[in-house]
Amino acid sequence: VKAIMKADPDVVMVSQDATVVMTKACEMFIMDVTQRAGLRSHAEGRKMVTLHDIVYALHECPEFDFLTGLLNNAVYH
């Protein structure tokens, strides 16, 4: 996570506390998306989560609207 944060040319230093917080935020985001996608695949009678389940899960949640452009690229490429 620290390496990803430092990949931004405007970021010179990253504190340990910032790394811990960002790591936890990423973990919580991935858990939420995974649960939503799992519910979607289960509702359709499948055990495997697909890219379309993830995209659907992100589209159904307004908090993830900032990912719209990325999601459209993922589905059509």
pLDDT tens-place string over residues 39-74: 999 999 999 999 889 988 888 889 988 887 777 666
* Cα–chain center distance at 38: 14
Q: How far is 77 from 57, CA to CA, in rounded Å?
A: 19
Q: How far is 50 from 44, CA to CA, in rounded Å?
A: 11
pTM of the model: 0.76
- Cβ proximity of 51 and 72 under 8 Å: no
How many CB atoms sit inside 10 A of residue 61's CB? 13
Q: How far is 72 from 57, CA to CA, in rounded Å?
A: 13
Give me the percent of the chain exceeding a pLDDT of 70.
92
